Structure formats: C-alpha cells, structure tokens
Amino acid sequence: MAVKILSYALLLFCAVACNATVYLIGDSTMAPGGGGAGTDGWGQYLQPYLSIPVVNKAVAGRSARSYTDEGRFNTLYTTVKKGDWAVIEFGHNDGSATPDNGRADCPGSDVATTCTVKDSTGKTIVTHTYNYYIQNAVTKFASLGVKTVVSSPTPNNGSFASGAGNRFVGYASLAASRTGADYVDHYDYVIEFYKALGQAKVNAFYPNDHTHTSPAGAKVVAQAFAKGLGCGKSTLKASLTSAGTSLPNGCM
C-alpha cells in the first residue's frame, strides 16, 4: 500500500516536474557554433546553471519570422511535452531589409499590422511583426502546457557602455507582458556582467565582429541569462543549480 501511494505520488509529481526539458530558441548568438569559426552561442553554456536538460534549438541567421516560416516552431510544437520550457530570444536578424531578405519582420509591435513584400522569387507575401511571431509562439506553447521565457536580445560589442537597448529589447518585454510569459532582460544583464569585467575583456569576447562571441564570451552571456532568471519571477528559477544561484553581480 505504502509503495503504491508512493508511486502514485511520484507519477503525479512527474506529471509536472520530472524530465522537464528547456528548449532554447533563437539565432546565432545562442546557437551551436555561434556565427562561425572562433565563436559559439550562449545556449551551449547554460546547462551547468540548470538542473534539468537544456536542448539548444537556436539556428544561426534566423529571426522570429524565418524561424516561424521555416516551420521550426511547428516542429517544436510536436516535440515538447507538458511541463517543458521554451526560452525565446530573437532580434539580431529581425531588422528591416530592402529588398526583403526572408527574415525582416514587419516594423512595429502591433500584432495586427502586416506588410506586403516580394520574396526572393518575386512572389508577393505577407509578413508580420516581431510581436506577432513571438506572441503566437508563446500562446501555442501555453496551449501545450509549455511555459515560455521571452528573453531580450544580447547587446553588441561596444554598445554595452551606453546601456540603451535597441527596439527589440522593448518588443521582447512587451511580448512577455502581453502574453503573461516570463521575461528576462538578457540585454541588461549581459551589460551588467560586461561592465564588471571591463572593456578590454569584453573586446576579447568578439574575435570576428561586434555580434558573435567567443566561447569565453558565450559563457558569460549564459551566466547573465541565469542571473536574470534567478532575479526574476519565473518559476524556472527553481531549477537553477548552485552554480546558477551563486553567480556574481546584482539583480537589476
């Protein structure tokens, strides 16, 4: 009897917590292999700070729009299970482009706004805003029992001294507040970690360009995410390891 009760209790517990997986969704700043030789994405360095498995589904070159249009969110909707987590972070490839490059979002943060552009074959297509793509994903994940952390995009080298985020930082925050998703202001936390390290160390994190970090830089960017998670309201923070709860710097 006791054994039976115990196994039922475990079953119940497992329905909400056992084997939950965290799926990371984003661009090259998060992806395996980062933005090319000598760089790596921060998603590769998050696992030590979380006690549940981290699966990095970020893909270099993608925006909220192209990740959607390529069916990558759809694939995840068939992969995830109730209790899993999604971390969504886009912004580096979402800016306007003329002619259309297949990844530029329609400008603005209104979910109802659409744009009509010509794709690479000359065909007329309709695109949507960053908020449309991200908020749709959050809502769909929620319907599958998956909670989302919307994360603001990482700062570029050199921009960290100012601390002013680009418009996608605001859009990410808005996407979270509108949908009830959790939010990590990754941009701000990376800046905090970078300031503590100083300009010379930060410069060395960018071997090729001002966007893509070295493995050492990616590790700091992952730490900044874990710090932001621990300082925020997301219940995912209950899964931080002791390494994740003992990171330096303060809450913003």
What are the residues binding ligand NAG (CB under 6 A)? 157-158, 203, 206, 209-210
Give the nearer residue to ligand NAG in terms of CB position, either 65 or 212: 212
| Region at 96 (left for phi over 0; alpha for psi -120 to 50; beta for the rest) | beta
Please say whether the beta carbons of 88 and 151 come within 8 A.
Answer: yes
Give the nearer residue to ligand NAG in terms of CB position, either 110 or 209: 209
Distance in angstroms (rounded) separating the CA atoms of residues 28 and 36? 9
Distance in angstroms (rounded) separating the CA atoms of residues 7 and 66? 44
Shortest Å, Cβ 116 to ligand NAG: 36
* DSSP letter (8 states) at residue 136: H
Out of 28, 63, 152, 239, which one is annotated catalytic? 28
Count, in order, helices (H) and strands (E) of the chain: 9, 7
Shortest Å, Cβ 40 to ligand NAG: 15
Give the nearer residue to ligand NAG in terms of CB position, either 114 or 203: 203
Whether residue 210 lies in the annotated active site: no
Q: Which of 14, 50, 12 is nearest to 236 (CA)?
A: 50
Out of 63, 173, 212, 234, which one is annotated catalytic? 212
Give the nearer residue to ligand NAG in terms of CB position, either 158 or 163: 158
Whether residue 246 lies in the annotated active site: no
Strand 54-56 and strand 85-89: the pairing is unpaired
Whether residue 209 lies in the annotated active site: yes
Shortest Å, Cβ 211 to ligand NAG: 8
Out of 96, 110, 177, 209, which one is annotated catalytic? 209
Shortest Å, Cβ 200 to ligand NAG: 9
> What does the block give as tokens for 176?
């979270």
Give the nearer residue to ligand NAG in terms of CB position, either 154 or 157: 157
How many C-beta neighbours within 10 Å does residue 112 have? 9
Distance in angstroms (rounded) separating the CA atoms of residues 12 and 29? 37
Q: How many CA atoms lie within 13 A of 110 on its CB side?
A: 5
Shortest Å, Cβ 249 to ligand NAG: 21
Taking CB atoms, the residue at the shortest distance from ligand NAG is: 158
Residues forming the active site: 28, 209, 212
